[in-house]
């Protein structure tokens, strides 16, 4: 088998689907003059929404779940907010209307909580189900005590060993086994989310700051709840420094507690979102210039950038996991005498 065949098939698949997804966004991204608004098309892709658009005319309606004060729980399909051409209904539905990716009440004084299954939430479920299927399948291979890894097991076993021996164990230390399940889940969740987001119909899951914030908060709480006496002593009473310096070091250490998860949150969010924006900008140049030459060149650049983004998908998962291990390793490290 030619080893380059899957690579070229991927390029063809990418060009076909990405071009179709651009046309799918045309109607949503047209300005008042009828021209395509590239900025609107890009924002339409990277932001969350109440329906999952695959391609032009192929839309998966998602459930809208709202808890309205004094009325209780309201549940309906997002398709009720749009007409047959997928244009938002001005009169709305059930007291709510859709505008630019958000749902608003017709009664401005209404108080409600939005619990809807949005595009990113739907993508989150897909990622979680995919991980469950893959890793339960891999686990079943070990249960059968296969001597030689085969199939999907041979693909994921080197990755699992790499995370265990080269990321988790060196950075956390002797107590690494307690945190290994979380680190494996963290790495593969980010990696799968990054890769699935590169598909033309994929959602910008890991480019959503709410997702990266939750991941960073989990690491933050796990780090500080695992902190031993030595860890807190270094923060509140740094050893081997003059007493006067401790007054200066204390606020820096406290600020550092919060800047660490903040940097984790922003790094992943910015890297993934920026990659999507640049990728879509290259494709959008075809419509801006209306030239076949520009279209061919921008498509080639987009394919090259998409391949780089596949590398970035793995790097960002590695970096987030590694820094999480470093922070937890500092929290559980025993004092040196």
Contact 25, 41 (CB under 8 A): yes
pLDDT of 8 = 54
Q: What pTM value is reported for the model?
A: 0.84
pLDDT of 316 = 95
- The count of other CB atoms within 10 Å of the CB of residue 41 is 22
> Distance (Å, rounded) from C-alpha 186 to C-alpha 180?
10
In this prediction, residues 151-176 reach a mean pLDDT of: 91
C-alpha to C-alpha distances, 42 to 25, 272, 294, nearest whole angstrom: 9, 13, 19
Q: What is the pLDDT of residues 238-257, one digit of tens each?
A: 777 777 787 888 888 899 89
Contact 204, 44 (CB under 8 A): no
Contact 265, 216 (CB under 8 A): yes
Give the torsion sign (CA, 321, 327, 329, 332): negative
* Domain residue limits, the chain: 63-116, 120-332
Residue 292 in this model has a pLDDT that exceeds 80: no
pLDDT of 19 = 53
Give the pLDDT band (50/70/90) at residue 1. Answer: very low
Q: What is the pLDDT of residues 21-65, one digit of tens each?
A: 555 444 444 544 556 677 777 887 888 889 888 776 788 889 999
């Amino acid at each position: 088998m030619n080893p380059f065949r899957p690579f070229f098939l991927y390029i063809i698949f990418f060009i076909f689907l990405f071009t179709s997804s651009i046309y799918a966004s045309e109607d949503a991204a047209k300005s008042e003059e009828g021209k395509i608004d590239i900025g609107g098309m890009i924002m339409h892709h990277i932001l969350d929404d109440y329906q999952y658009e695959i391609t032009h005319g192929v839309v998966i309606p998602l459930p809208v779940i709202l808890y309205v004060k004094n009325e209780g729980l309201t549940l309906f399909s997002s398709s009720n907010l749009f007409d047959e051409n997928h244009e938002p209904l001005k009169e709305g539905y059930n007291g709510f209307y859709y505008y630019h990716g958000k749902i608003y009440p017709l009664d401005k004084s209404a108080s409600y909580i939005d619990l809807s299954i949005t595009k990113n939430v739907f993508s989150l479920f897909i990622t979680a189900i995919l991980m469950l299927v893959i890793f339960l399948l891999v686990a079943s291979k070990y249960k059968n005590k296969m001597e030689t890894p085969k199939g999907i097991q041979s693909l994921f076993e080197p990755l699992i060993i790499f995370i265990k021996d080269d990321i988790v164990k060196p950075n956390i230390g002797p107590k690494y086994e307690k945190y290994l399940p979380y680190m494996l889940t963290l790495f593969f969740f980010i990696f799968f989310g990054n890769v699935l987001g590169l598909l033309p119909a994929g959602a910008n899951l890991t480019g959503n700051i709410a997702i990266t914030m939750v991941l960073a908060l989990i690491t933050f709480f796990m780090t500080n709840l695992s902190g031993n006496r030595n860890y807190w002593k270094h923060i509140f009473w740094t050893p081997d420094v003059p007493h006067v310096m401790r007054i200066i070091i204390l606020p820096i250490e406290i600020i550092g507690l919060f800047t660490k998860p903040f940097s984790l949150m922003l790094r992943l969010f910015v890297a993934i979102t920026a990659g999507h924006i640049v990728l879509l900008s290259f494709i959008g140049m075809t419509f801006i210039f209306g030239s076949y030459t520009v279209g061919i060149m921008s498509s080639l650049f987009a394919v090259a950038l998409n391949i780089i983004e596949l590398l970035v998908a793995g790097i960002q998962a590695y970096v987030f996991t590694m820094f999480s291990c470093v922070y937890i390793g500092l929290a559980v490290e025993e004092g040196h005498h």
